[in-house]
């Protein structure tokens, strides 16, 4: 499924009286119909409102450990975006410090996503700001799309950029490219995870909020099979909504596997009291019978914290293929089925034997 692309427009200037708002209004008017036709969600991140103090996190951003709520909020905003448009002025032949600070606050949240540039300024129309900003963006794993738009302040009448149909068309083309890049780059998103035994052509990464919609569709598709073999619709995985899947992504270790841009498999694991719990192991129907479920099951077992004594999971009482897989990996049924669900467990010290 191709989900809606979320474009985050970052307004760099935080000056009290700024031209940025007029530039943004021009861009929105020029690209609005195109964004609607492409089904793009456009959100604005005004750095004046995002309000990040300078370099105030004790840990380096690539640890992903943030202590301040403003950084966590910024992290969620950037992680949830598929692509960026930066609206920036030029300060002393470089980008404004507010923009550099917004980039520097995060790391992995930017990686593998495209970015489009819209600058404005005096002599160089802000293009020198872009030179420095692009260097930073490249370091963070962002990919600049071609076709920067740069506005000369000298051309303005008062506080408004002049009408220019050719420039408006360029803005539309830039947005179209941005969306195409966002779709093409999706397989590169998020830090890649090294999953032993993963077949060539498949890429695993930690699920991000932006994966929730695709994950939900795959989950429902996979659990329809479970509903059929168990002759019941009373299966939690079939009824979860987008918020619940997003919440699992935020609180559990959720791994997704993609073939190209398509999400084809996933597994989750988390601490459940004294046990390490594995759940929502799913592989798209046309990708089954190639050992991917076993690869993910083993990976999920390996993620248990040191000292874990037991790994648990559950499946439908009539899900014969699942039960066979789990038993072949050393899991044993721990009690009689209740509500048509079988609980299985494995002693952690047996994991390396599987």
Ligand X SMILES: Cc1cc2nc3c(=O)[nH]c(=O)nc-3n(C[C@H](O)[C@H](O)[C@H](O)COP(=O)(O)O)c2cc1C
Which residues are at the interface with ligand X (CB under 6 A)?
Answer: 13, 15, 18-20, 89-93, 121-124
In sign, the C-alpha dihedral spanning 315, 317, 319, 324 is positive
Q: Where are any strands of DSSP class E within the chain?
A: 6-11, 41-46, 83-88, 114-121, 143-144, 149-152, 192-193, 202-206, 253-259, 262-272, 275-283, 310-316, 332-333, 341-347
| CB-nearer residue toward ligand X: 93 or 169 | 93
Instruction: Determine the Cα–Cα distance for residues 337 and 186; give it in Å rounded to an integer.
Output: 41
**Cα Rg of the chain (Å, integer):** 24
* Beta strand pairing call for 253-259 and 341-347: unpaired
Handedness of CA 102, 106, 111, 113 (dihedral sign): negative
Cβ closer to ligand X: 101 or 312? Answer: 101
CB atoms under 10 Å from CB of 8, counted, come to 20
* Burial call 29-56: b when 16+ CB within 10 Å, e when fewer: ebbeebbeebebebeebbbeebebeeee
C-beta closer to ligand X: residue 18 or 167: 18
Beta carbon nearer to ligand X, 92 or 352:
92
Residue 10 three-state SS: strand
Q: Starting from the edge strand earliest in sequence, which strands make up the sheet with 310-316, in order?
A: 192-193, 202-206, 253-259, 262-272, 275-283, 310-316, 341-347, 332-333
Shortest distance (Å) from residue 113 CB to ligand X: 24
To the nearest whole angstrom, how small is the minimum distance from the Cβ of residue 125 to ligand X? 7
Identify which of residues 18 and 68 has a Cβ nearer to ligand X in the complex. Answer: 18
CB of 242 to ligand X, least distance (A): 36
Closest CA to 93 of 135, 70, 125: 125
Least Cβ distance, residue 124 to ligand X (angstroms): 6
Residue found under tokens 């168990």 = 230
Say how far apart CA 46 and CA 352 lie, in whole Å. Answer: 51
- Quote the least distance from Cβ 97 to ligand X, whole Å: 9
- CA distance linking residue 241 with residue 255, whole number of Å: 18
* Residue whose CB is less far from ligand X, 89 or 319: 89
**Measured from the CB atom, is 89 or 219 closer to ligand X?**
89
Provide, rounded to whole angstroms, the least separation between the CB of residue 152 and ligand X: 9
Q: Which is nearer to ligand X, 19 or 346 (CB)?
A: 19
State the nearest-atom distance from the C-beta of 190 to ligand X, in Å: 33
User: What is the rounded distance in angstroms from the CA atom of residue 177 to the CA atom of residue 184?
Assistant: 10
User: With DSSP H G I counted as helix, E B as strand and the rest as coil, what are the percentages for the chain, rounded to 5?
Assistant: 45, 25, 30
- Closer CB to ligand X, residue 18 or residue 73? 18
């Amino acid at each position: 499924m191709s989900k809606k692309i979320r474009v985050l427009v970052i307004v760099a200037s935080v000056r009290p009286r700024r031209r940025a708002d007029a530039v943004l209004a021009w861009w929105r008017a020029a690209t609005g119909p195109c964004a609607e036709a492409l089904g793009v969600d456009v959100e604005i991140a005004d750095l004046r409102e995002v309000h990040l103090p300078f370099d105030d996190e004790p840990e380096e951003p690539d640890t992903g450990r943030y202590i301040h709520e403003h950084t966590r909020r910024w992290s969620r905003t950037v992680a949830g975006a598929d692509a960026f448009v930066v609206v920036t002025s030029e300060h002393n032949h470089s980008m404004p410090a507010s923009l550099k600070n917004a980039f520097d606050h995060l790391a992995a949240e930017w990686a593998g996503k495209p970015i489009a540039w819209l600058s404005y300024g005096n002599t160089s129309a802000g293009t020198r700001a872009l030179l420095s900003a692009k260097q930073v963006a490249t370091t963070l794993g962002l990919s600049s799309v071609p076709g920067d738009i740069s506005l000369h302040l000298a051309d303005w009448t008062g506080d408004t950029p002049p009408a220019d149909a050719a420039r408006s068309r360029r803005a539309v083309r830039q947005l179209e490219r941005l969306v195409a890049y966002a779709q093409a780059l999706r397989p590169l998103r998020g830090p890649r995870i090294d999953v032993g035994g993963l077949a060539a052509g498949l890429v695993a990464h930690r699920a991000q909020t932006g994966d929730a919609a695709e994950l939900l569709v795959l989950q429902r598709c996979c659990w329809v099979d479970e509903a059929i073999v168990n002759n019941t619709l009373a299966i939690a995985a079939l009824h979860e909504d987008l918020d619940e899947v997003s919440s699992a992504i935020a609180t559990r270790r959720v791994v997704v596997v993609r073939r190209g841009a398509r999400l084809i498999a996933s597994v989750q694991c988390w601490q459940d009291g004294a046990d390490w719990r594995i759940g929502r192991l799913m592989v798209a129907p046309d990708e089954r019978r190639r050992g991917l479920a076993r690869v993910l099951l083993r990976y999920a077992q390996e993620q248990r914290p040191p000292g874990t004594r037991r790994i648990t999971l559950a499946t439908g009482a009539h899900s014969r293929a699942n039960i066979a897989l789990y038993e072949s990996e050393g899991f044993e049924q721990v009690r009689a089925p209740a509500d048509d669900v079988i609980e299985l467990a494995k002693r952690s010290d047996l994991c390396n034997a599987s």
